[in-house]
Amino acid sequence: MHDNELWYSYKEGDVKALEGLYEQYYTPLSNYGFRFTPDNVCVEESLQDLFRKLWQNREGITSPLVVKQYLYQSFRRILLRRLEVPCRHEDEFAGEHIPFHVEVTGEHPLVGKERMAMLRSKISTLMGILSNRQREAAFLKYYEGLSYEQIAEIMHMNITGTCKLIYHALERLREKVGDFTLLVLLYILKKKD
């Protein structure tokens, strides 16, 4: 079932549709949550809170244009509050003070184990030169495949700021490694379907 169909059914009170959304988004949202914290319990409880609140408030929640964006944005807000990230206002959820870590794990079918270990190390080093916000935006763009508009909503930024943030991140990486190596790194970072 497509996201919008699941959302419509969930809004109509179909608990199986909510379970479908949970099954579809549990792993990607968990993965996103672990970029903010290694605390398994915190991520799991935030996910439970998200889906519990979705069910309890289903009648008052409007249907989003993009379900994936809505879930990421809501999960991020719940997780950051649970982590007690000091934010007095909603727009502070876009701040640089929010930690975000990118780590490449697993294997890639086109890259040998030794080469993958070297690339993983290089990517970790390169990600260290990016700011937290640049890492998060690049992750959402290249790993999760979200649009600039969706990233802007999730990170509480405007679209122009999001484009500039990703552009400057790519420029910083390009300065360090060059165009071809950057393309290879982005390809490896790309989520395998």
Confidence (pLDDT) at 67: 92
Place of tokens 């165009």: 179
Instruction: List beta partners, residue 108.
Output: 111
Q: Which of 2-11, 106-115, 154-163, 167-176 has the lowest mean pLDDT?
A: 106-115
Question: The tokens of 100 are what?
Answer: 């975000």
CB–CB of 155/162 below 8 Å? Answer: yes
Rounded-to-5 percentages of helix, strand, coil across the chain: 70, 0, 30
User: What's the CATH number for 113-189?
Assistant: 1.10.10.10
Mean pLDDT within 147-156? 93
Domain boundaries, the chain: 3-88, 113-189
Mean pLDDT within 130-142? 89
Percent of the chain with pLDDT over 90: 43
CB–CB of 35/72 below 8 Å? Answer: no
Confidence (pLDDT) at 44: 93
Place of tokens 């007095």: 88
SS3 of residue 111 by DSSP: strand
pLDDT digits (tens, 9 = 90+) for 81-103: 888 765 444 444 445 556 766 65
Calculate ∠ Cα 64-158-162, nearest 5°. 100
- pTM for this one? 0.64
* Residue 123 scores a pLDDT above 80: no
Closest among 185, 148, 189 to 165, alpha carbons compared: 148
User: What's the CATH number for 3-88?
Assistant: 1.10.1740.10
